[in-house]
Amino acid sequence: MMEEGSGGGRSNYNHMNDAKNERRVGLIYDQRMCKHRTPYGDDHPEKPDRITVIWNKLELAGIPQRCVILNAKEAKDEYICAVHSKNHVNLIRNISSKEYSKRNRIASKLNSIYLNEGSSESAYLAAGSVIEVAEKVAKGELNSAFAIVRPPGHHAEYDEAMGFCLFNNIAIAASFLLDQRPELGINKILIVDWDVHHGNGTQKTFWSDPRVLFFSVHRHEFGRFYPANFDGFYTMVGEGPGAGYNINVPWENGRCGDADYLAVWDHVLVPVAKEFNPDIILVSAGFDAAVGDPLGGCRLTPHGYSVLLKKLMDFAQGRIVLALEGGYNLDSLANSALACMEVLLEDKPISELSEAYPFESTWRVIQAVRQMLSAYWPTLADKLPTKLTDQKAPPHILLSSSESDDEDDDASKIISKDLVQAIADVVEPILNLKIEDYHDEVNSALWRSKLSKTDIWYAGFGSNMWKSRFLCYIEGGQVIGMKKLCSGSVDRNPPKETRWKTFPHRLFFGRDFTQTWGPGGVAFLDPRSNSEDKAYMCLYKITLEQFNDVLLQENVPDHDMNSPLFDLNALDSILNEGSIPVEAVKRGWYHNVVYLGMEDDIPILTMTCPLSAMESFKSGEIPLCAPSKDYADTLVRGLVEGKQLSEEEATTYIQVASTKPL
């Protein structure tokens, strides 16, 4: 018999294989996972329709009748806790029973997450369903399987839900096979993440684990595409025993299609997979790189997905588990999922792709990835022949957003080959002149990747004591009273933690006008300590990369950031020297970085004027000036919301600081 359960209220299927040699393919779908939806009924890309359209498409094609239909099961806490913290598991387990308003407050503090009364059950079913199909494939009861699940999982980290993901379904299943079922003989797992976004949570889970080869191909754009950091850059290869077992292929641009993905498969993934020789393959099967996806902006076709999957079936005796991740164009999502199921069932021969060529940027990324990983995988050591890499698509012509996202194949939108070539003849020489821009982008990405791994405490003593104001430097924007917007940091993740401390330094107000606040003085801190002084400071735990962006915005926002303003060497030096003026932004008023001590073995840094400016303030060469009401109110808000002082005490604190002589 082919059924093992009902697809969450769907019909049972009780059919024998039409052919004895047909592969046994598992399928899980459960309507209970549709209960996770936005609390207000608002439209959202990650909506219940995503899984229902897949199931309906498969039913119309007669796919479920040929599959083993499995029951969705909730994952056990012990299996989830192998990947997530106990606090996180408790949060997701209990979130649906919390009051409506409390749920929304929790969701508002998370990155791209909504929660409702059905979220807990859906999250547990999604994780449990992927475990269920992975175990049956590992046992040999199934050849392969597809878990049609939501919410997705690959962004979820150890202690944080993010990017529509609550539990990391694929990481939980991989951990289960490796650590909970050793008798199955699964010692090496290849995880392929073809979702258009980087699988940051999965990467971090197996960062040091050589049993898991994690491969992610994703739109990155030098850290500008979600999740908007450098975890997905090609230099992130793992560490310790896991070094070389983490492979990132970061697209520099959107509109990558079948030819681009196939080139990565042929020249990175397939050669490494041959060497690695996995026992099973788990696919984070996001379909948001598909044609027409509103979030992805890439151009993979259903046929493209089928070719990529077919190439994977040459490994691990075809033991493959697909777990749904993203995919937000419902038609493309359903068509791509059907194409993949037809491959798992070995319906028909899969022809190679047409004579399309990858972008020039694709070859550039592939060669950078191969060079980076060649020390770990000798099969990547050879340089690709020029004859191959010269086969490239015309330059990437960016149309208006409405044009570039419209993937309809209307004849009126087809550009003739002659016109494309004419455009290429004009644009190609210009692009060749811009090669130094690419090197600048790479240099920027490299230092950002490196500094993103080091945390510091940034101590705010002025308007940055109010968290909402400080977040303008991280997320961009402005608060009440500000006259101009902040650009924000490249990494827009909020501070990991916030604390308050007092320090023996003098707070005072100087200058008489700023572009950000208009007329009035702004806060400065005497870089020298004095036991008779006391300054309140709000400490934000951020990365050294983010600190560089804050330092830039506080001083000279238009400065080129191809290299860091304050690097790891400077961090080492400041521990002994106490303060370091940053010459690159010396035109700014806050270019003197001051070391204030340690908190949990993490250095506390602030930025203020240099000692030379202190003498100018004292002499009157630079004016001392009381703050404007808008600016002073910002400091008061910070002190009051931070529960350091009452409103009256905070007002007095600022008044004393603005009137007491230096």
Indicate which residues carry an active-site annotation: 155
- Burial of 108: CB neighbours in 10 Å, binned 0-12, 13-18, 19+: exposed
DSSP-assigned letter for residue 242? G
End-to-end CA distance of the chain: 87
Tokens of 459: 């101590």
Element (H or E) spanning 285, and its range? strand 280-285
CB-based contact 123:103 (threshold 8 Å) = no
Tokens of 605: 């840094």
Element (H or E) spanning 569, and its range? helix 568-577
The 10 Å Cβ neighbour count of residue 17 is 11
CA nearest neighbour of 483 among 514, 517, 512, 511: 517
d(CA 32, CA 218): 30
From residue 149, how far is each of 121, 166, 210, 325, 494 by CA, in Å?
12, 12, 28, 8, 29
CA nearest neighbour of 165 among 341, 323, 387: 323
Show the beta-strand stretches assigned E in 183-251.
Answer: 189-193, 212-219, 246-251
Tokens of 162: 């993010």
d(CA 591, CA 586): 6
212-219 and 246-251 as β-strands: parallel, antiparallel, unpaired?
Answer: parallel
- Angle between helical axes of 629-641 and 647-659 (0-180°, round to 10): 130
From residue 197, how far is each of 163, 221, 223, 315, 470 by CA, in Å?
9, 11, 11, 25, 28
d(CA 649, CA 432): 62
- The 3-state DSSP class for residue 83 equals coil
Tokens of 399: 């149309």
CB-based contact 145:57 (threshold 8 Å) = no
- Contacts made by residues 394-398, CB under 8 angstroms, sequence distance 24+: 394/420, 394/421, 394/423, 394/424, 394/427, 395/360, 395/423, 395/424, 395/427, 395/428, 395/431, 396/253, 396/255, 396/359, 396/361, 397/423, 397/427
Beta bridge partners of 605: 458, 595
Helices vs. strands in the chain: H and E counts, helices first: 22, 18
Secondary structure of 441-467 in HEC code, one letter for each residue: HHHHHHHHHHHCCCEEEEEECCHHHCH
d(CA 200, CA 204): 6
d(CA 94, CA 205): 23
The 10 Å Cβ neighbour count of residue 349 is 6
